[in-house]
Amino acid sequence: MRNSIVVLFILASISGFSQDSEYNVASYLTKGSKAPNTHYIGEAWLNRIIHDDQELGYNITKATFKANSTLDWHEHASAQVLLIVDGEAYYQERGKEPIILKEGDVIKCEKAIEHWHASTKFSDVTYLALYGGGQPTTWTEVVTQEYYDKVAEKLNHN
């Protein structure tokens, strides 16, 4: 019994040295919450790592899309940077040809530029999105499964 009390005392003391609750620690490794199927096809999870932080003035969101999933055409009131941390993605700006982004790629989309991005047909993708706070995303047009399939066929044959 005495040994049990000593062990409990030691564990209680150690827990006092664990991370202090004064810090707000988030992790980009957390999968996040399943996103509602509003402006995309397929499956997606979002982890809002930093969101609506007035002092920073920007957001960081981790997004994970299962293979064969896509966002609709949209634009932002600020520039957006995508950092591909795992998998492969399709990316296209209005009036330009679509491209494939791979793990390690970083791309900046200027503010008010209509674009879409997605996982590829056969690969999940996880990316970190950095974008200005304040105004929400403006959704402009649906990316249909037919259009997505044409992009996939074109890019997989190049």
Mean pLDDT of residues grouped by 10 in the chain (158 residues)? 43 44 81 80 90 83 95 94 98 98 98 96 96 85 96 89
- Distance in angstroms (rounded) separating the CA atoms of residues 50 and 28: 10
- Distance in angstroms (rounded) separating the CA atoms of residues 152 and 92: 12
Identify whether the C-beta of residue 50 lies closer than 8 Å to the C-beta of residue 111.
no
- Distance in angstroms (rounded) separating the CA atoms of residues 82 and 100: 13
- Residue 151 C-alpha from the chain's centroid: 21
Q: Tell me, what amino acid is at 44? A: A
Give the pLDDT confidence score for residue 7 in this predicted structure: 37
Give the pLDDT confidence score for residue 75 in this predicted structure: 94
Give me 98's structure tokens. Answer: 């679509």
Say whether 75 sits in a helix, a strand or coil. Answer: strand
Give the pLDDT confidence score for residue 20 in this predicted structure: 55
Q: Tell me, what amino acid is at 17? A: F
Give the pLDDT confidence score for residue 34 in this predicted structure: 82
Give the pLDDT confidence score for residue 2 in this predicted structure: 53
Q: Which of 114, 120, 145, 136 is nearest to 40 (CA)?
A: 145
- Distance in angstroms (rounded) separating the CA atoms of residues 89 and 86: 9
Angle at 82 between CA 92 and CA 150, to 5 degrees: 25
Give the pLDDT confidence score for residue 30 in this predicted structure: 80
Identify whether the C-beta of residue 113 lies closer than 8 Å to the C-beta of residue 49.
no
Give me 110's structure tokens. Answer: 């200027």
Angle at 144 between CA 98 and CA 158, to 5 degrees: 30
pTM for the model stands at 0.80
